Structure 1
Amino acid sequence: MYREDIKEACTFIENELTAKPSLGLILGSGLGVLGDEIENPQTIAYKDIPHFPESTVAGHKGQLIIGTLEGKQVIAMQGRFHYYEGYTMQQVTFPVRVMKELGIESIIVTNAAGGINKGFNPGDLMLITDHINNMGNNPLLGPNDDHLGVRFPDMSKLYNKAFISHAESCANELGLKVQKGVYVGNTGPVYETPAEINMLRTLGGDAVGMSTVPEVIVAGHAGIRVLGISCISNMAAGILDQPLTHDEVIETTEKVREDFLQFVKKIIQKIS
């Protein structure tokens, strides 16, 4: 049944398209501004797509935008779905399955994240080199559909090394300093305690958020190449003596907007 739902959503989107996209974009909290840069845009509200959930979080517009960005045909999610919203892991990752069905072979996944690494600062951009699934769940639990991917997929190279090198080269060309590190996915919706942040730092985490990990697991299962970029929107609990708020996340992503836009556009422009 799940595969039929994917096909139905894919068919609906294809019937709306005037050009076939080749690159997928998943835009996190406050980062949907990249979707506004797409030329000749076609916009499809999530609520109109069969079997798509609807985004309920501030900073997530809840629509697909298909068009041209830096000479490439892209399909962008302006807003994503989160496990903490009450959706199943299969619902959270459904758009990635649909992108694969549409023929997408590469995606750029972005998020706003809290900095665990004390060498980071709010406003830094971090290329994700690996992740830790701390969500207590996995989107691949249950019966496996061999048409979607293998039963026991390798997760050792989820974040494509050539893609990361390409992104570093683009950053150097722009004179932009970017960090690299391990992203930890937590369920949310609460921010972490200082003790939890100390634990995650000990485990090797550099940044923490409430998304990305399920989508990337499914992308790996589907054989999609992934580049992950985190905007360090705040320092995680216990590092600075101040409360954490979603307003701070949005405020910081606004400040880093131009660097983020230039960086991702350069990556797309020069991608092979």
Structure 2
Amino acid sequence: MNVQAALEVLGGRAPFVPEIALVLGSGLGALAGCPEAKDGVSIPFTDLGFPVQTVQGHQGKLIYCELEGRKVVLQAGRFHFYEGNPMELVTAPMRIHGRMGVKAVVHTNAAGAVNAGFGVGQLMVITDHINLMGTNPLIGPNQEPGPRFPDMTAAYDKALTAQILGAASRLGQKVQQGVYLAVTGPSFETPAEIRAFRALGADAVGMSTVPEVIVARHEGMRAAGISCLCNMAAGMLDQPLTHQEVLEAGAAAAADFEKLVRAFLKNLAL
């Protein structure tokens, strides 16, 4: 993936340098169809040298628009490691956002609830993560000016997290907080794995986000995360898991998600 070539394309087509990027995960892409997004500038991933998206629920484009008075870029879709993509491609959008001058990224995803106290359709603000993907996107020559050994003590920015929770409180939304554990997929986890993940301290499990957060931090951007809990993880209910279930739960939570994002942006302090 040629990040510099993508930046050159954006230099001629992006109408502004966004303050913040919003990564729209599985089932949460409805925000890309809001009126402000329709009036914005949409740039397909393929125009930037990315391959075509293969996962249902990911539109595959960047949308530059204004939401609640803030200049934002909506990343409608992402590339997953389980698709056979190299980490360089999975995290390339973060390199692009960082080098365009984006200050912060809110990463969203669909996840399975590992915490038995959580419920399907709830939103969980990510407070930390566990990387069980078996690799790290920073392996290889260091991409300066990022540090060789970036600190992950506060990978999820505490001030941004507090602002998301404050927005939820103003809306009267009950959101959860917890640790997101990332696996490679694409198979859903086994009940034994979920019991192990719970013992490790995970509250939710998914197949994305963590590599992007690591690279966002390496690029000097602040990061926050929101998971839509689209199913109870394997073994917690006596039923199989399907991707269609994930999409349906994400669609059901879309209205609350959009309200939360808008309330967060309206009072955003960067």
What is the TM-score of this pair, normalised by structure 1?
A: 0.96
**Structure 2 residue aligned with 1:115, among 113, 116, 119?**
113
In structure 2, the partner of 1:103 is 101
Runs of 4+ in 1 over 6 A off after TM superposition: none
Partner residue in 1 for 2:86 = 88
Q: Is the CA contact (8 Å cut-off) linking 1:139 and 1:218 kept in structure 2?
A: yes
Deviation of 1:183 after TM superposition, in Å, equals 0.1
Q: Is the 8 A contact 2:125 2:227 kept in 1?
A: yes
Aligned to 2:172: 175
Partner SS state of residue 75, structure 2: strand
1:53 Cα offset (Å): 3.4
Counterpart of 1:256 in 2: which secondary structure? helix
* Counterpart selection for 2:197 from 182, 188, 200: 200
Mean Cα displacement is larger for which, 21-30 or 182-191?
Answer: 21-30
1:179, distance to aligned residue in structure 2 (A):
0.3
RMSD: 1.0
Letter of the 2:72 counterpart: V
1:259 CA drift (Å): 0.6
Match in the other structure for 1:43 = 42
Q: % of aligned pairs identical?
A: 49
Q: Name which of 112, 121, 124 aligns with 2:122.
A: 124
Amino acid paired to 1:32: G
Q: Mind listing any 5+ residue stretches in structure 1 that lack a counterpart?
A: none
What residue in structure 1 maps to residue 156 of structure 2? 159
Counterpart residue type for residue 85 of structure 2? Y
Amino acid at match of 2:194: I
Structure 1 Cα separation of the partners of residues 256 and 105 of structure 2: 20
Instruction: Give deviations 1:39-69, integer Å, cap 9, x for gaps.
Output: 421111111113x233210000111111111
Contact 1:53-1:91 within 8 A present in 2 as well? no
User: Any conservation in 1 of the 2:15–2:64 contact (CA below 8 Å)?
Assistant: no
1:79-102 CA-partner distances (Å, limit 9, x unpaired): 111000010011100000000111
Q: What residue ranges of structure 2 are gaps of 5+ in the alignment?
A: none
TM-score by length of 2: 0.97
| Deviation, structure 1 residue 170 | 0.6
1:18: how far off?
2.3
Distance across 1 between alignment mates of 2:180 and 2:244? 21
Deviation at 1:10, TM superposition (A): 1.0
Q: 1:20: how far off?
A: 2.5
| Alignment partner, residue 12 of structure 2 | 15
In structure 2, give the amino acid aligned to 1:146.
E
Alignment check: 8 A CA contact 1:60 1:79 kept: yes
Aligned to 1:217: 214
